[in-house]
């Protein structure tokens, strides 16, 4: 058989549909593997414009971001969090105390374990983390399209501070 003036053997002509299917499957597997690839932000620091400065600086640490992602769906105790993020318990406790100091997580003691959970402020930070530090390439592309289409819904969160009362000064008038 001749195509574009070239002689092609009959065997190649009969195998052509199978070759096209195999190449299509290989291409599809390659595309899926690229999109499912995990993104590595271990050495990259991103300024989160929607978060206050102290929260932005706090969440630049990858371990703290991992801890917050593990607490996204349920309350957990320290050793379970440490096992999930592949860290030791003392280091995990240190990071949890930092997050608790800034009001992103809260804890309660049950028996001998401290259980941690996200606060409203922490849930807001999860959205910011998912936008600025996506886990996979497909999430990265979805976030970029949302921003391009104007559907990026994270608004600057205003954290209300409790008014400080000064009990040392009394008005005697």
**Is the pLDDT reported for residue 43 higher than 70?**
no
**Is the pLDDT reported for residue 47 higher than 80?**
no
Tokens of 148: 């391009």
What pLDDT digit, counting tens, does each position of 54-69 carry?
888 888 888 998 999 9
Greater confidence (97 vs 34) lies with 97
84: Cβ contacts below 8 Å, ≥ 6 apart: 70, 76
Element housing 168 (H / E): none
DSSP state of 63: H
**Is the pLDDT reported for residue 113 higher than 70?**
yes
Q: What local confidence, expressed as pLDDT, does residue 171 receive?
A: 46
**CA dist list (Å): 125 to 22, 38, 72, 130:** 44, 21, 10, 9
What pLDDT digit, counting tens, does each position of 77-97 carry?
899 999 999 999 999 999 999
| Count of CB atoms situated within 10 Å of the CB of 22 | 11
For the chain, the residue count is 173
């Amino acid at each position: 058989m001749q195509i574009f003036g070239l002689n092609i053997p009959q065997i190649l002509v009969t195998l052509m549909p199978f070759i096209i299917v195999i190449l299509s499957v290989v291409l599809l597997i390659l595309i899926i593997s690229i999109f499912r690839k995990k993104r590595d932000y271990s050495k990259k620091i991103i300024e989160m414009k929607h978060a206050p400065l102290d929260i932005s600086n706090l969440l630049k640490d990858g371990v703290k971001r991992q801890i917050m992602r593990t607490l996204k769906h349920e309350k957990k105790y320290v050793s379970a969090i440490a096992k999930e993020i592949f860290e030791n318990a003392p280091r995990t406790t240190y990071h949890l105390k930092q997050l608790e100091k800034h009001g992103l997580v809260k804890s309660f003691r049950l028996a001998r374990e401290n259980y941690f959970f996200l606060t409203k402020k922490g849930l807001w930070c999860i959205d910011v983390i998912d936008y600025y530090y996506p886990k996979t390439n497909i999430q990265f592309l979805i976030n970029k399209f949302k921003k391009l289409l104007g559907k990026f819904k994270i608004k600057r969160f205003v954290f209300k501070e409790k008014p400080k009362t000064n009990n040392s000064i009394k008005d005697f008038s």
